[in-house]
Amino acid sequence: MFTIEAKRVLTPVTKLIVVQAPMVARKARPGQFVILRCTESGERIPLTIADYDREKGTITLVYQEVGKTTRLLGRMGVGDAILDLVGPLGMPAELPREGRVLCVGGGVGVAPVYPKAKAMHEMGVDVVSIIGARSADLLILEEEMRAVSTAVYVATDDGSRGHHGFVSDVIKQLLERGEQFDEIIAVGPILMMRACVEVTRPYGVKTWVSMNPIMVDGTGMCGACRLSVDGKTKFCCVDGPMFDGHAVDWAEAVRRSRIYLEEEKIAVDHMNCAEGGCRP
């Protein structure tokens, strides 16, 4: 169970794995995620399902090696098995079946955008996409996004590919030149999603965001993913992860996304230390 069937290195810090998980693959829908654990005493982490194949019984996960668990996962290879994996969790995204939708992915956020873009493309929606990263070598899933989009725009913070700047700049350019979208889906780091929402707000285009970055246990029990949407308390992992970005209290969400930064750093330091890489 949960054997890694394939692995691809997408960037120096981002990996894609295809995992045998037939029960999850059978039920998975775009927008949902799984919780997994690599070792008996390890933490559980939520990862969005980037793709699934019901016939082969596999799901695809994409992750960036930022913390201890994602680093451990990064060391696992084809044939290794993930200790446990639960899902699909969260509410499936409510995707339109027609019209024109702009899909925006920043960094590893392109991975959660992809299954939504793919599902809409299959239903006949005109999908236009923007993918971004800090630099060209950190862009992921460009080919996959091109296969399900009528146009793909690229943005990099350092200008090494496409627009020199942020994905939110490209949204602004498209809206300013009169491009019409029925909805926008933006997924990526919290600050990126906030910037996208502020760009689209004056145009009144419904903008969905995925609040995965503030999730911890992903089961509704830890309370870490609490956020205010339209003045009401919601839990990202059970009520979301997709929310109307114009209704999210972003100041609170930004605060929450930073709560465990120190603990995460300590865990990585301990890991480095245990492997002989202690800082003096």
* Chain contacts with ligand FES (rule: CB under 6 A): 215-218, 220-225, 235-237
Nearer to ligand FES, 110 or 214 (CB): 214
> Shortest approach of ligand FES to residue 140 CB, angstroms?
24
Write the CB contacts of 152 (distance below 8 Å, at least 6 apart in sequence): 128, 129, 130, 131, 142, 145, 146
Cβ of residue 214: shortest distance to ligand FES, in angstroms? 8
Strands 163-164 and 151-156: parallel
> Torsions phi, psi of 87, nearest 5?
165, -175
Minimum Å distance from CB 89 to ligand FES? 10
Q: Which is nearer to ligand FES, 31 or 132 (CB)?
A: 31
List CB contacts of 204: < 8 A, sequence separation 6 or more.
Answer: none
Question: CA separation (Å) from 103 to 94, 114, 183, 197, 200?
Answer: 14, 8, 9, 13, 13
Residue 178 or 223: which CB sits closer to ligand FES? 223
Task: Find the shortest distance in angstroms from Cβ 259 to ligand FES.
Answer: 11
- Judged by CB, which is closer to ligand FES: 102, or 237? 237
DSSP assignment letter at 76: -
Rounded CA separation 61/114 (Å): 11
Closer residue to ligand FES, CB minimum distance, 136 or 267: 267
Question: Mapping DSSP to helix (H, G, I), strand (E, B) and coil, where does residue 268 land?
Answer: helix
Q: Which is nearer to ligand FES, 35 or 104 (CB)?
A: 35
Tell me, what DSSP letter sits at residue 178? T
Least separation, in Å, of the C-beta of 211 and ligand FES? 10
Indicate the SS3 state at residue 196: helix
Strand-pair partners of 246 = none
Tell me how far, at minimum, the Cβ of 47 lies from ligand FES, in Å: 13
